[in-house]
Amino acid sequence: MTEDIEDTIGRGMHASGMPAWRPLVRQDRVDLVAYVKSFSPRFKDEKPDPAVTIPPETPDTPDSIKRGADLFQSNNCWSCHGKDGRGNGPSASTLTDSKGYPIVPFDFTSGREFKCGDTNREMFRDLMTGLDGTPMPSFTDSMKPDQMWDVVHFIRTLSSKKHLMAADQTPPSAPAPAAPAQ
C-alpha cells in the first residue's frame, strides 16, 4: 500500500489534478506518503490485504494478441474503451465514478501512461483487481491469468498504433496535404 502511494506521487494521475512529482527526492516522498496516510485512520487501524500475486508473463505472440482481441470483445471491454481502444465505446458517455461524477474510459491509443502504471505487470494487476472508484471491474472471475496476459498483449498493440502514427503525423483518415501552388 505504501509503495502504491509512493508510486502514485511520482507518476501522478492522468485526467486528475494530481501532477507527477518525479523531482522529489526519496526522503521527501517518504515524508509525503506518511503525511497522506495521516488523513485516514484506516492506515493506522487496519492491516493491508496481502499483496496481489502476479504470475509470470506469458509469451507475447501473434496468437496471444489474437486471443486478447477476442477476449476484449467477449468481455465487453469495447463497450467502454471502444472497438479501437479510443475510450469512445457506446457506454463511455454514461460512466460515472463512485461519487457519481462523469468519468472517461482510458484511450489506449493516446500514447499516455496508464493511470496506475505503464508496465505489463501493472496492466495485468488492473485487470485482476479492477480500479476502485471507477466502473473498471475485476476480471478474476471471468478470465484465467493466461487470458489476462493475452488482453494485456492486445492492449499494447492498440497503444503502439498511436506511436506508429506519430512518426508519420498523417492520420489514416486525413486527406493528403495539397501540393504547393506553383
- What are 145-181's pLDDT values in tens digits? 999 999 999 999 998 644 433 333 333 333 333 444 4
Residues 70 and 39 in one domain: no
Residues 6 and 92 in one domain: no
In a domain, 116, yes or no: yes
Residue with cell 463497450: 79
- Whether 69 contacts 153, CB under 8 Å: no
Residues 156 and 74 in one domain: yes
Query: In this structure, what CATH number is given to the domain that contains residue 110?
Result: 1.10.760.10
In a domain, 154, yes or no: yes
Domain of residue 39 covers 2-45
Can you give the pLDDT at residue 13?
A: 74
DSSP state of 102: B
Residues 117 and 152 in one domain: yes
Cα 76 to Cα 110: distance, rounded to the nearest angstrom:
20
In a domain, 178, yes or no: no
Q: State the pTM of this model.
A: 0.73
Please tell me the total count of domains within the chain. 2
Can you give the pLDDT at residue 14?
A: 67
Q: What is each CA distance from 178 to 133, 142, 175, in whole angstroms?
A: 48, 50, 9
> Which residue stretches of the chain have pLDDT < 50?
161-182
φ/ψ (deg, to 5) at 149 = -65, -40
In a domain, 81, yes or no: yes
Q: What is each CA distance from 162 to 63, 91, 115, 157, in whole angstroms?
A: 22, 23, 17, 9
Residues 17 and 85 in one domain: no
Can you give the pLDDT at residue 55?
A: 96
Residues 36 and 66 in one domain: no
Residues 70 and 127 in one domain: yes
Residues 99 and 74 in one domain: yes
For the record, the C-alpha cell of 105 comes out as: 474510459
DSSP state of 13: -
Residues 68 and 33 in one domain: no
Can you give the pLDDT at residue 175?
A: 36
Can you give the pLDDT at residue 166?
A: 35
Cα 34 to Cα 71: distance, rounded to the nearest angstrom:
40
Residues 73 and 130 in one domain: yes
Residues 39 and 106 in one domain: no
φ/ψ (deg, to 5) at 157 = -70, -30
Residues 100 and 14 in one domain: no
